[in-house]
């Protein structure tokens, strides 16, 4: 009985050791996130926005991309996006985020979430991305070292931008200027840092939406006024001639 128990214990220990070895082999973590000079110094990062729809009509979609530029240590990075109250349809507004690695290339926008009913987005970034049996840093300069040693993947578009927002405005949104405010927070190895950016867009009113028609109407009115003046002048001289 004791011999059987001892054998079972030995077998369990062997299986556990094999599982731990396999797990270690599958998580070969790259410790150095970035390879350029001063890569392990405290990081400094900024949000960079690219807008595609600065002017829209009510019910239109506001689309913009978000990139992250900088270098150095960065951990626990998150981005919050808050919009003007009651400006978007939260069920039809979304952000593409997330990342996967295919054939040693980063591809962004692999996941999507809808806007919170309260009118905001909360996006967090992983520190590591799994690829085959390895874990790679999210803010990596992998693949860019030959072109620019200090360029990181989040400064480039790969299929999509690191973040792509598609925000559907409400059908009855009043004309005017609105804003989306983005706040980034991260730890740079020494202290917590942050950056803030604002994107504005304009919802056109009726006159702006029919600007071309209004221009033609204005031209027609101007021509009619000129013709009227010419006719009045002609009539005046005609009367003067008769009275003479």
Domain ranges of the chain: 27-208
Q: Is residue 232 scored above 50 in pLDDT?
A: yes
Residue 159 per-residue DSSP state: S
**Alpha carbon separation from 23 to 12, 14, 134, 138 (Å, rounded):** 16, 14, 11, 21
Kind and range of the H or E run holding 14: helix 2-26
- pLDDT per residue as tens digits for the range 102-124: 776 788 988 999 999 999 999 99
Going by the DSSP 8-state scheme, the letter that residue 170 receives in this structure is P
CATH number for the domain formed by residue range(s) 27-208? 2.60.40.680
Task: Report residue 192 CA to chain centroid gap.
Answer: 22
- d(C-alpha 178, C-alpha 84), whole Å: 6
For 161-219, how does the pLDDT look when each residue is reduced to its tens digit (9 = 90+)? Answer: 999 999 999 999 999 999 999 999 999 999 999 999 999 999 998 776 666 555 556 66
pLDDT at position 211, please?
63
Residues with Cβ within 8 Å of residue 237, at least 6 apart in sequence: none
Output the DSSP codes for 65-132.
EEEEEEESB-EEEEEEEEE-TT-B-GGG-EEEEEEEEETTEEEEEEEEEEPBTTTEEEEE--SEEEET
pLDDT at 12 over 60: no
């Amino acid at each position: 009985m004791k011999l059987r128990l001892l054998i079972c214990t030995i077998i369990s220990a062997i299986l556990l050791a094999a599982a731990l070895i396999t797990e270690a082999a599958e998580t070969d973590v790259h410790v150095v996130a970035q390879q350029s000079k001063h890569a392990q110094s405290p990081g400094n990062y900024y949000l960079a926005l690219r807008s595609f729809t600065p002017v829209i009509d009510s019910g239109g979609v506001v689309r913009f991309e978000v990139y992250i530029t900088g270098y150095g240590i960065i951990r626990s990075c998150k981005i919050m996006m808050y919009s003007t109250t009651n400006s978007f349809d939260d069920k039809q507004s979304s952000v593409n985020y997330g990342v996967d690695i295919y054939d040693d290339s980063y591809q962004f926008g692999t996941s999507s979430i809808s806007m919170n009913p309260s009118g905001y987005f909360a996006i967090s970034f992983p520190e590591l991305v799994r690829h085959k049996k390895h874990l790679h840093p999210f803010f990596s300069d992998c693949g860019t070292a030959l072109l620019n040693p200090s360029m990181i993947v989040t400064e480039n578009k790969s299929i999509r931008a690191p973040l792509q927002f598609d925000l559907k405005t409400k059908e009855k949104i009043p004309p005017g200027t609105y804003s989306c405010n983005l706040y980034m927070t991260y730890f740079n190895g020494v202290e917590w840092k942050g950056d803030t950016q604002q994107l504005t867009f304009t919802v056109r009113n009726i006159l702006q939406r029919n600007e071309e028609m209004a221009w033609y109407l204005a031209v027609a009115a101007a021509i009619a006024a000129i013709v009227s003046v010419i006719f009045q002048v002609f009539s005046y001289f005609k009367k003067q001639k008769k009275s003479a």
